[in-house]
Amino acid sequence: MTNVNLSALALNPQNMITPTIAGGTLGFTIGTAPTQVLPANPQVQKVIFHNPGTVNVFVCQALDANGNALVPGAAGGSWEIFPGGLLIFTGNGAAGAWLAAAATAGGALTIATSQTP
């Protein structure tokens, strides 16, 4: 994963976050066991994952396109987020339930959700 220029990212209107009324940002300490970090919410149109920690973190939707259960980890179906990395999902699929697990104990994950793309 390459470094991200956060100032350019923040200036792009496409990357603006419109949090839900109660706040759209969540923080987690992630272990190696799969953990649900977001429930399914049909109003969510954009999800941003950020790994502020020092341990690689895996995220995946709870179900794949065929309705089969997924498990976050090095196997197929997961997205690996390196320390300092961002992963952005928009459109179809962003509203599903999401799971996360760390490569080793002590992972961290920040998630922002938006009801606008």
Q: What is the CATH number of the domain that holds 72?
A: 2.60.120.10
59 CB-near residues (< 8 Å, 6+ apart): 37, 49, 72, 78, 79, 81, 87, 98, 99, 100, 109
Domain extent at residue 26: 22-114
Confidence of residue 1 (pLDDT cuts 50, 70, 90): very low
Within-domain flag for 28? yes
Q: Does 94 score more than 60 pLDDT? A: yes
Within-domain flag for 5? no
Q: Among residues of the chain, what percentage have pLDDT more than 90?
A: 70
Confidence of residue 14 (pLDDT cuts 50, 70, 90): low
**Mean pLDDT, the chain, integer:** 86
Within-domain flag for 90? yes
Average pLDDT over residues 42-55: 95
pLDDT in the model for residue 12: 52
CA 9, CA 17: separation in Å to the nearest integer?
Answer: 11
Within-domain flag for 92? yes
Binning the chain into helix, strand and coil, the percentages to the nearest 5 are 10, 35, 55
* Per-residue three-class SS string for 34-91: CEEEECCCCCCCEEEEECCCCCCEEEEECECCCCCECCCCCCCCCEEECCCCEEEEEC
Confidence of residue 60 (pLDDT cuts 50, 70, 90): very high
Within-domain flag for 4? no
- What's this model's pTM, rounded to 2 decimal places? 0.79
pLDDT in the model for residue 49: 97
In the chain, the number of structural domains is 1
26 CB-near residues (< 8 Å, 6+ apart): 37, 38, 110, 111, 112, 113
